[in-house]
Amino acid sequence: MTAQDIVKLYIPVTLGVIMLAMGLGLTVADFKRVVTQPTAMLLGVVNQMVVLPLAGFALAFLFELPAPLAVGLVLITACPGGPSSNLYSNLARGDTALSVSLTAVSGVLTMFTIPFVTGLALDTFMGAKREIHMDAADTILQLLFIVGLPLAIGMLVRARWEEKALVAEKHFKRVAVVLLVILIVGAVLKEKDRIAEYFAILGMPVLTLSLGTIAIGLLSALAFRLHLRQAVTIGIEVGMQNAALGMGLAMTVLGSEEIAMPSVVYGILAYFTCLVALLIGRRFIPAAAPGA
């Protein structure tokens, strides 16, 4: 087995473990909030599925990013949600249930929106003569296997053996963190000769993307008169992307470490930028707020 074969095997396994851990923390009730909290859910989903990709395209043009990095920046905006956003929402005294529900809904929707958004980015920035091609149907099928199937298995285990699922979730989350760190380190080492250059090029666009979308999510929620707990949660959900999924798709489906670089940079910086929303929540949301 070659090093390339190991990488191709490692990335889907990593994504599968991450999505399995996420599924173990989800229940059918998390999807029901689409009906019980329609305004908050709809606003969060629109921000994630529409506003985020538009922001990615706008910043790629604004900062005149090289074509592969422009595609990579848009790709990360097409991969919203993740377990980390749930943790940040909880620490920020936000609406954790809403955060989990948005993660659940976006996890299903992105299996179909990622191929469309990424394909549009490839057409826009690389043109018809691009060397990298992506088959939408094949990509959806891959996403169903590496995202949908582990997510569904995790939810099934949670539904049938809740106590065991809660214990397993903790272990799988720890394993997922280790695998994610290895994935990031591996990507950095693979591009070590240019990593400083990538950070110089991508640092400001990524910071602008994360901080800007946090602000959009937060302010749009307040504009719709949602509670600050929900506003902070939506800000975090919009501002913290699934970097592991972005890296995995770039290196497997698109076969490009360079396209993966925005996800690598984002995966490092977003943990710091989302501290802004966390601190807002800790400062203005009472610790004794119901459901906090």
Task: Tell me which H or E stretch contains 64.
Answer: none
- Each residue's pLDDT tens digit, 181-199: 777 777 777 767 788 889 9
Any idea what the CATH number is for the domain that residue 23 is in?
Answer: 1.20.1530.20
Q: Could you tell me which residue, 2 or 168, shows the higher pLDDT?
A: 168
Contacts of 8 (CB under 8 A, 6+ apart): 252
Length of the chain: 292
Structural domain including 159 reads: 3-284
- Residue 289 in any domain: the answer is no
Return the pLDDT at 292.
39
User: Residue 3: is its pLDDT beyond 60?
Assistant: no
User: Residue 36: is its pLDDT beyond 90?
Assistant: no
User: Residue 134: is its pLDDT beyond 50?
Assistant: yes
User: Residue 66: is its pLDDT beyond 90?
Assistant: yes
Contacts of 101 (CB under 8 A, 6+ apart): 30, 31, 33, 34, 37, 41
User: Residue 124: is its pLDDT beyond 60?
Assistant: yes
- Residue 49 in any domain: the answer is yes
The top-scoring range by mean pLDDT among 19-33, 139-153, 221-235, 273-287 is 221-235
Is 191 in contact with 147 (CB distance < 8 Å)?
Answer: no
- Residue 214 in any domain: the answer is yes
Q: Could you tell me which residue, 18 or 58, shows the higher pLDDT?
A: 58
Return the pLDDT at 214.
93
Residue 242 corresponds to which amino acid?
N
The two tokens of residue 110 are 């992105």
User: Residue 168: is its pLDDT beyond 70?
Assistant: yes
Query: Which residue, 88, 97, 83, is CA-closest to 17?
Result: 83
User: Residue 73: is its pLDDT beyond 80?
Assistant: yes
First and final C-alpha spacing in the chain: 49
- Each residue's pLDDT tens digit, 39-63: 999 999 999 999 999 999 999 999 9
Please name the residue that has the structure tokens 């890296």. 247
Q: What's the number of domains the chain is made of?
A: 1
- Residue 290 in any domain: the answer is no
The two tokens of residue 51 are 């506003």
